[in-house]
Structure 1
């Protein structure tokens, strides 16, 4: 399973980014609007990573004006953590979870809230793209909605949203299919709508959509053990640890 996920991790950014190779590391540089990408181990590399390689990637990220971020799976590339920490980055660990069984029970929606898949021409698209940004105290970059619309049309992304009675998204998220594998990503709830189970309801809708479109492997990274317990209610089980490295003081 971890080998399958490594192939996915290497494939999915390539539809919206160019890959720059730095020996044992690959830096994905986004082309167009949207969340910036990161560096991760080159596909197939499982051994040690010299700190010099990490520092070269960080220098390139600074040159490009993108976040100095690295993402990888602890169990697959255990030799990377020491190198990124030696370069001065801080590592955050997150449960890596795969859908293995049926949900315990469907999430109950608050009165007046509906959850549905959002298409490229849907009037709710703008607010559905904006909701996860708002969850992290940010605003969408210029052209973000248009880029998501293009990815929706191309079948590269599927988008679900929890909507209030005015059809404005309170929470939203995506899954990104590559062949039989898809990852649930970017699930976020606007601050004023939190603690109502909307993120879990959106995730459940994404899982149902992924299964309906033939996904054999559905996975995600949980924020922490508490959130992992919520995802376990949908049938996800922890199989590893997703690691994210970034400069001290940045949100993990």
Structure 2
């Protein structure tokens, strides 16, 4: 599964508004944001980069004023981590990922009603709710809502549970399938609405949506044991790890 997840990461970054491919790496950039969680790179499966290849990748970030950063499944490209560490990259995070298939998916019942955004106001509400759910890791913005609209337009999916006030209680999104799989991300519930099965409901709905569109699996990363239990209840199972490496600026 590591190679499939890594191949998906490559395909997904190639969907960014600006793509740079150099020395066995694919970097995806979005000029609307400087967020390192959107502007990053990943290696082609099996690539064996040289020091010059890494230097060229770093230059692609530096010339845009961005921190050089990669996300990848290390087992799919074993030569990459040593090359990056030799250039000074350090560990930002190590995340386990879970995988769901049509055979393992469990739809929770009873569950809150899950909707697809139908208006600009819905996309704005989802973006704002996820910003609140993730405690300000990113700010809600018109650009964030626009990215959600593009994702839905381009074959991915955004799903949410509506709050009593008409806004968004919680939601998540899933990238369009590639190489038979799809990444589910950004599962978040506003603090006032937690404990009501929202995360499980939107996760199951998104996975089912991707399976209906031809994906053979859906994968996600989790941030803690509580979220892992939620995902496992709807059919996600441990499969591997992904490594996040970044390079600080020379003056840091």
TM-score, length of structure 2 as denominator length: 0.80
Give the equivalent residue in structure 2 for 1:218.
Answer: 218
Aligned alpha-carbon RMSD (Å): 2.8
Show CA shifts across 1:91-144 (max 9, x none).
Answer: 4111122213334561655xxx5422223x264221112222223302134433
Change (3 A) 1:142 1:97: same
Q: Offset of 1:9 from its aligned partner?
A: 1.5
Q: Offset of 1:22 from its aligned partner?
A: 2.7
Give the equivalent residue in structure 2 for 1:70.
Answer: 70
Does the aligned pair in 2 maintain the 1:18–1:28 contact within 8 Å?
A: yes
Q: Partner of 2:14: helix, strand, or coil?
A: helix
Q: Aligned equivalents of 2:148 and 2:199: distance in 1? A: 19
Give the equivalent residue in structure 2 for 1:171.
Answer: 170
Change (3 A) 1:95 1:44: closer
Does the aligned pair in 1 maintain the 2:156–2:177 contact within 8 Å?
A: no
Q: Partner of 2:182: helix, strand, or coil?
A: strand
Change (3 A) 1:187 1:52: farther
Q: Aligned equivalents of 1:66 and 1:114: distance in 2? A: 40
Give the equivalent residue in structure 2 for 1:89.
Answer: 90
| Structure showing the higher strand proportion among its residues | 1
Change (3 A) 1:26 1:108: same
Change (3 A) 1:217 1:143: same
Change (3 A) 1:225 1:75: farther
Q: Offset of 1:169 from its aligned partner?
A: 0.9
Q: Aligned equivalents of 1:92 and 1:149: distance in 2? A: 29
1:38-77 mapped onto 2 (5 Å cutoff): 38-41=40-43, 43-47=44-48, 49-50=49-50, 53-77=53-77
Change (3 A) 1:247 1:233: farther
Give the equivalent residue in structure 2 for 1:230.
Answer: 230
Q: Aligned equivalents of 2:177 and 2:39: distance in 1? A: 17
Give the equivalent residue in structure 1 for 2:132.
Answer: 134
TM-score, length of structure 1 as denominator length: 0.80
Q: Aligned equivalents of 1:172 and 1:84: distance in 2? A: 35
1:182-221 mapped onto 2 (5 Å cutoff): 182-221=182-221
Does the aligned pair in 1 maintain the 2:23–2:54 contact within 8 Å?
A: no
Q: Offset of 1:161 from its aligned partner?
A: 0.8
Q: Aligned equivalents of 1:222 and 1:127: distance in 2? A: 23
Aligned pair count? 241
Matched, 1:106 2:108: yes
In structure 1, runs of 5+ residues without a counterpart are none
